[in-house]
Every structure is written in C-alpha cells, then in structure tokens.
Structure 1
Amino acid sequence: MTPPDLPLEGLPAPQEENSPAVSLRLQVLKNRSDFLRAARGKRVAKAGFVLQMIARPEGEAPGIRIGYTCSKKVGNAVARNRAKRRLREAARLILLQGGQPGHDYVLIGRRETTATQAFDDLQSDLAHALGILHGASK
C-alpha cells in the first residue's frame, strides 16, 4: 500500500532554522609543517596538556584548525590513543565556543595526567588556557 500523493502547489518550501554560514566542525591539522608553525606561536601549559596557538596569515581558510599529539612518553599506543580521544572530545566541546576563526591550535598530551584527569577539569583547563591565549584572563 502506498500513501496518497499530496498536491505540491501552494505549499511553502521547508525552511531550515539552523543553517550555519560556516561549518561547525573543527578542521584537523595533518601536515608536519602546520604543527611546526604552531610550535612557534603562543603556548600555555596546564596539568593535563599543553596548548599551542598561532594565527594563520590572511587569505588562508577562515575556520578553526586543531591538531593533537602525544609522544611515546605518554605511554603505549593504547594510552596515547585514549589521551588523544579525551583531548579531541574536550576540544569539540570547548574550542567551538572559545576558539577564534583563523587560528591553529595544537593540544599536546602529558604523561599520566591527560588520560586520568577528571574530564570536567580537562574542559575547564582548556577554557582557561584559551582565555589566557586570547588575552581574556591572565
């Protein structure tokens, strides 16, 4: 059984209420040169991570880009992956509101603390670090 066809004439087109002008996804840094450029910028060290930031030159893509890294000092592959998953989720929740378009950010995981720190503390540290980097608080 098929549903009856409705006449399409005279019906308004469906409107999307939340049509963002830019993408709400974070772009991920993948090239080594982008990580090295961010390393030359500002940085803030917190208990669970180090946050690096640099403004991109005019004319490049206007979105927020972020990279994640954990060295072997963080632990084996399982520990590094867990630390990066936690950093990615914290960035997804915090960086979309606190980050500025046209900037690159790199989150560097720390040994033992990135994977074990309370997630609420990790989020608040990231928000505070963003405030410091953008000059909102010292």
Structure 2
Amino acid sequence: MPSARTSLGFSAADRLHRSAEFLALQRKGIRIQCPHFVLYAGPLPHDIERSRLGVTVSRRIGNAVVRNRLKRRVRECFRLALRQSIPAGTSLVVIARSGAGELASSMIFSELAAGVGKIAIRLGAERT
C-alpha cells in the first residue's frame, strides 16, 4: 500500500523540465483558457503512467517573490487535487496570465479545477 507521502508527493520526476516538452504540449495538446491561466494538456510519448506538470510565469506577472509564490500555489493545487482529475500519463502545462499573481489560493484552485475538468472531458471524448 503506497503511503500518503508517495501518492501526494511532488518530486522532480513529476515536473516538466525541458522546453521541448513544453513546446510539444503547446503544439499538439488540448488548450483551455481560464480568466487568469492558459492550460495545455496531452500525453507525452515517454510518460505512460505518470502525470506531470509544467508552470510558466513571466515577468509581467510580478517580481520574483510573486512569481515563485504563484508557482508554488499551482504546484500545490496539482499535487492535492488536479492530478487525480486527469487521466494517468497526461502532462499539463499551466501558463499564468496577467492578474494571476494577485489571486488568493482558493481562486487559483477554483480556476484550475474548472480548466482541468474541461480537459478531462475532452481527453475522455478523444480516447473513446
């Protein structure tokens, strides 16, 4: 039985690292727009069972403190709830839009949950 730490953890293997992975999802993945985020999702060829996350926050969002806080909050949403909402093996890229740095954690979660719900529906429709 896996412990809660391993199932809810977020290690380096759970992240997208290479720009080629980000670009592949942006070219071939599903795109969903939210008021403060753009989400791209789809399978990457070498990720069969692991869902991974990549977060992009540009300097337009705010200074380094604001950008890093936003990335931590997005990762926490993915770790706690969003990963279970998408099919296994689906990678997700979250791009922050202007105004995202001022959002409360609950608003970030609600926007991302709505977007991931749409992604899950579209991925389910494509696989059938």
The residue correspondences of 1:42-57 to structure 2 (distance < 5 A) are 42-57=30-45
**Secondary structure of the residue that 1:51 maps to in structure 2?**
strand
Does the Cα contact within 8 Å between 1:67 and 1:105 map onto a contact in 2? yes
Unaligned runs of 5+ in 2: 123-128
Confirm or deny that 1:19 pairs with 2:7.
no
Unaligned runs of 5+ in 1: 1-17
Q: CA deviation at 1:47?
A: 2.0
Question: 2:113 aligns to what?
Answer: 127
Cα distance in 1 for partners of 2:17, 2:47 equals 16
Does the Cα contact within 8 Å between 1:86 and 1:115 map onto a contact in 2? no
Residue identity (%)? 34
Distance 1:28 1:126, change over 3 A: same
Larger-Rg structure: 1
Higher helix share: 2
Superposed CA RMSD in Å reads: 2.0
Runs of 4+ off more than 2 Å: 23-26
Does the Cα contact within 8 Å between 2:25 and 2:40 map onto a contact in 1? yes
Does the Cα contact within 8 Å between 2:85 and 2:120 map onto a contact in 1? no
**Alignment length (residue pairs):** 115
Give TM-score scaled by structure 2 length: 0.78
Confirm or deny that 1:115 pairs with 2:101.
yes
